[in-house]
Amino acid sequence: MNNVYIERTIIVFIVIIGFLLRIYRIGYHDFWYDEIISISITNRISYCWNPPLYFYILRAWMEMLGNNEFSLRLLSLVFSLGSLILVYKLGKYIFNYKIGLISAFIMAFSGYQIWYAQELRPYSMVSFVGLISSYFLFKFFREKKDRNWILFLAFSVCGIYSDVSYYYIAFFAVQFLICILLAGKRGIFRIILSLGGILLASLMQINNFIAKLKYLNRGFWITDVDLKSLLLFFKNINFGYNLPDLFSLPIAAISILLIWGGFVLAYKTKEKKQDYYFLFTICFLPVVLILVFSKLFFPVYFYRGFIVISSYYYMLLSLGLVYFFRPLYKLILPALYLFLTFLGLFSYYRDWNIPATGYYAGIYVKKPFRPAVKFLEKNVEDNDFIAYANSSSHIVMNYYFKDKVFKHNFIYYPGMKDDSYGREYSSIKCQQGETLSIYDSDFLDFSRLWLIGCRWERSGELDENSQKVKYYLDKMLLLQDAIEFDGLWIFKYVRH
C-alpha cells in the first residue's frame, strides 16, 4: 500500500479522534467566570484592554450560532483542531512524517489541550496563530522566499492582536531573536525594520500590555515560582490539570528523559541538529524569560500561558518517543507515557478535583450554576434580596438569570480580600459591579435574604468572605434553609 495513503489515513484518523474527544461533553458544564467575561467583552471591545481580534471573531460567531455553551465553545474547538493539523505539518516539515504524526497524536489526546478546546477563551486561538507564524518563519529560513517572511510578519501581528499576555510577548521576542541569530549581517537590517513595523502596527496593544503589567504589579492571584510549580509544568502541559499531583515527579522524569532522547536522535542526524536547536529554543526560552521576570519583578508564571509553546514541546517529546521505541526494553517509556495519557483523559472527563492551592489559581472545575439559578427563579419573591459573597458566582448567575430581575448586591466583609485579585473587595468595586459592605446590609429593605456562597474551586466549602458574611448574618437574621448545588451554597434568611 502507498506510504502517502497510509500517512494521510493516520492523520485523518487522529484528527477525527481529536474532534470526538473535544466535542464530547463540550456543552456539559455551565459557563464560568472567565467565559462570561469573554461574552461581555464582545459588547464593549473598543473599551477593553484585551486584544480585540478574538472578540471580534467571537461576536460574529455568536451572531451566526447563538450564545449557548455548546455553540460558543465550538470556536475554541475549531482553533484547537487547526493546531492539531498544523503541528502535524510543522513536525513533518522540520523532521519527517513520523514526528508530525506522533506530535499530532500527543496533542489530540492531551487533557491540557482538550481543556482549552472546551473553554470560551482565546488560548486555543493563540496556539493556532503562534503555530502558523512559526511555520512560515521556518519555511522562510529553509526556502528563502519573501512570501513566507511576509506571512510570518502578518501572523505575528495577528498573534499580538489575539493575546497580549507576557507569554505571547516572550514567544514573539524569541522568534525574532532566532531571526537575528540566523540572518547574518545582510539580513539584520531587514529584520530590525520588520520588527519596528510590527511594533508600530501593534502600538495600541503594547500599551495595553504595559497597563496589564502595572495592574498585576499591584497584586493578583499568580503565585511565586518554586520547584513544585516547575515540576507541575510537565504534568499539566502533558496530561492536564485533573491528574493528581503525586504523578508530577515521575512525569517530569519521563519528560526530561524523552527530551534527552530526542536530542540524541537529532544529534545522530547531523543535518537535523540545527532544527532541533530551533525547536528547543522556541519551546523553552520563553519559559526561561517568564521565570527570570517572575523572580526579578513579580509573578507572571501560570500554566494556561504555556499553550503558546505547547506544540513545540510535543514535537520534542515525539523525537524522544521515536528514540525510545526500539529496542524492546526501551519501550517502557512510550508505554508509561501512553498509560498516563489515558489516565489524564479519564481524570478530565470524570472531573477529578483540582487541588485548592495557589499553584492552580485561575484553574477550576466548573460549578453547576444553572440548577441554582432555576431554584432561585422558582423561590425568590419580589421583595427578596440576593447577596453574593464570592465573585465567581456573581456575574455568572446574573448572566443565567437572563430577563429575570432581582434585587441583588455583592456583599463583602470589611478587610476581606478577593482570592482572584489579591486585593480587598472595597478597592475593586468596578470588577464586581454593585458591592455593599455587610454592615450596610442592615439598611436593605427585604422580606427574605438569599446568600450565595462558595469558593472559586468546586470544593463544597466557603471562602473566607462567604464565611464571614454568613457568620454575621447568622447573628442578625434567622437561617431558615441551606442547600448545596455541587460546590455552590444557597442560604435562606428571614428576619427574626
Shared domain for 294 and 261, answered yes or no, is yes
Residue 179: how many other CB atoms lie within 10 Å: 21
Shared domain for 272 and 421, answered yes or no, is no
CA–CA gap between residue 102 and residue 12 (Å, rounded): 13
Q: Which of 360, 393, 417 is the last residue of a domain?
A: 360
Shared domain for 318 and 173, answered yes or no, is yes
CA–CA gap between residue 321 and residue 333 (Å, rounded): 8
Q: Which of 360, 395, 414 is the last residue of a domain?
A: 360
Q: Characterize 384-416 residue by residue with b for buried, 16 or more Cβ atoms within 10 angstroms of its Cβ, and e for exposed.
A: bbbbbbbbbbbbbbbbbbeeeebebbbbbbeeb
Q: Which of 360, 384, 418 is the last residue of a domain?
A: 360
Shared domain for 265 and 378, answered yes or no, is no
Domain extent for 422: 369-494
CA–CA gap between residue 135 and residue 149 (Å, rounded): 10
Q: How far is CA 326 from CA 131, 273, 413, in A?
A: 30, 21, 62
CA–CA gap between residue 441 and residue 389 (Å, rounded): 13
Shared domain for 45 and 188, answered yes or no, is yes
> One digit per residue, pLDDT tens: the chain, 496 residues?
577 888 999 999 999 999 999 999 999 999 999 999 999 999 887 767 778 899 999 999 999 998 899 999 999 999 999 999 999 999 999 999 999 999 999 999 999 999 999 999 999 999 999 999 999 988 988 888 889 989 988 998 888 888 756 566 778 778 877 777 776 666 777 778 887 887 777 777 777 777 777 777 666 667 788 889 999 999 999 999 999 999 999 999 999 999 999 998 888 876 678 888 889 999 998 999 888 888 888 888 889 889 999 999 999 999 999 988 776 656 788 889 999 999 999 999 999 988 877 788 788 899 999 999 999 999 999 889 999 999 889 889 999 998 777 888 889 998 887 766 666 776 665 444 567 888 876 657 788 999 999 998 888 899 999 999 999 999 989 999 999 999 899 999 998 7
Shared domain for 338 and 402, answered yes or no, is no
Shared domain for 268 and 141, answered yes or no, is yes
Shared domain for 296 and 380, answered yes or no, is no
φ/ψ of residue 36, rounded to 5: -65, -35
Shared domain for 351 and 442, answered yes or no, is no
Shared domain for 162 and 135, answered yes or no, is yes
CA–CA gap between residue 396 and residue 448 (Å, rounded): 22
CA–CA gap between residue 163 and residue 169 (Å, rounded): 9
φ/ψ of residue 312, rounded to 5: -70, -35
Tally of domains in the chain = 2
Of residues 490, 478, 465, the one with CA closest to residue 411: 465
Residue tagged 510590527 (cell numbers): 198
Shared domain for 315 and 355, answered yes or no, is yes
CA–CA gap between residue 425 and residue 219 (Å, rounded): 13
Shared domain for 353 and 476, answered yes or no, is no
